[in-house]
């Protein structure tokens, strides 16, 4: 077993059963005129994590380990978008509305694309997801089973929404989950800190947290 220096205690994993899951590093959450800004958020908080996310992606690729990308988006006819999700709150632009980067959170539009520095390589798994969790209404579970994956390292945005939801889904499905602390971000710094704390509380009730550097050291040694 290899080990990542993590909190609340070291994260043991087998190199042949670990994958990186990069959650929703899309223009819609990081650039002006996208979904994140339409909800009233300070989107400038997101791009500073790109170098750490990129370092993780590069490290997993260099080690020959799977990199899985997710994208929150909906079909053009919005048949997979519950009205409750579209009607929630008082956003400047709703899901499916035409914005400066195309239709908000609609698959195939410029705004839903993954940030260019973090773009998937041909052959990497890309999961389009209609919900906050990446297992709900997607083939992610089957893909992980096919690959024999048991340990998941998470990065991406936002910490307390899509990342935490997916980690909880994964935890309930029996995966050992670790979140890279400096490769995830929230629009609310206090929510990020609270999420990291609640994940590792109670003896890693949801999972572990560690720096991207600690993950990369362990991957390189494994």
Which lies closer to ligand TIU via its Cβ, residue 8 or residue 110? 110
Distance from C-alpha of 100 to C-alpha of 113, rounded to nearest angstrom: 14
Closest to 107 in 3D by CA, of 85, 88, 126: 126
| 129 flagged as catalytic | yes
Question: Which residue sits closest to ligand TIU, CB atoms considered?
Answer: 162
DSSP string, 155-219: EEE-IIIIIHHHHHHHHHTT-EEEEEEEEEE-SSHHHHHHHHHHHHHHHHSS-EEE-HHHHHHHH
CB of 158 to ligand TIU, least distance (A): 4
* Centroid of chain to Cα 164: 9
Helices H, strands E: what count in the chain? 8, 10
- Min CB(63)–ligand TIU separation in Å: 26
Peptide bond into 8 cis (omega under 30): yes
Q: Which of 132, 162, 182, 192 is catalytic?
A: 162
Distance between CA atoms of residues 164 and 20, nearest Å: 15
* Residue 162 annotated in active site: yes
Q: How far is the CB of 206 from ligand TIU (least distance, A)?
A: 16
Of 13 and 187, CB closest to ligand TIU: 187
Q: Are strands 2-4 and 102-103 parallel, antiparallel or unpaired?
A: unpaired
State the catalytic residue, choosing from 24, 28, 81, 182: 24
Given 28, 54, 81, 129, the catalytic residue: 129
Looking at the Cβ atoms of 41 and 211, the one nearer to ligand TIU is 41
Which one, 37 or 219, has the nearer CB to ligand TIU?
37
Residue 162 CB, shortest distance to ligand TIU, in Å, is 3
Dist CA 114 CA 69 (whole Å): 9
Interface ranges with ligand TIU (CB under 6 A): 24, 29, 39, 72, 132, 157-158, 161-162, 187
Instruction: Name the minimum Å distance from CB 52 to ligand TIU.
Output: 17
| DSSP secondary structure string for all residues of 137-163 | TSSHHHHHHHHT--EEEEEEE-IIIII
In this complex, which beta carbon is closest to ligand TIU, that of residue 195 or of residue 209? 195
- Which residues are identified as catalytic? 24, 129, 162
């Amino acid at each position: 077993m290899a080990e990542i220096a993590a909190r609340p205690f070291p994260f043991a994993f087998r190199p042949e059963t670990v994958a990186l899951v990069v959650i929703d590093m899309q223009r819609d959450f990081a650039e002006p005129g996208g979904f994140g800004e339409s909800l009233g958020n300070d989107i400038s908080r997101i791009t500073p994590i790109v170098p750490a996310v990129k370092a993780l992606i590069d490290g997993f690729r260099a080690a020959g380990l799977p990199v899985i990308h997710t994208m929150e988006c909906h079909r053009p006819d919005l048949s997979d978008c519950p009205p409750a999700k579209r009607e929630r709150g008082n956003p400047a632009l709703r899901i499916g509305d035409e914005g400066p980067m195309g239709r908000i959170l609609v698959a195939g539009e410029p705004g839903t694309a993954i940030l260019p520095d973090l773009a998937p390589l041909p052959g990497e798994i890309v999961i389009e997801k209609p919900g906050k969790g990446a297992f709900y209404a997607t083939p992610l579970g089957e893909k992980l089973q096919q690959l024999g994956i048991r340990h998941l390292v998470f990065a991406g945005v936002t910490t307390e929404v899509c990342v935490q939801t997916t980690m909880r889904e994964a935890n309930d499905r029996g995966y050992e989950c670790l979140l890279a602390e400096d490769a995830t971000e929230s629009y609310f710094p206090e929510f990020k800190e609270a999420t990291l704390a609640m994940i590792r509380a109670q003896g890693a009730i949801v999972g572990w947290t560690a720096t991207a550097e600690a993950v990369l050291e362990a991957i390189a040694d494994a």
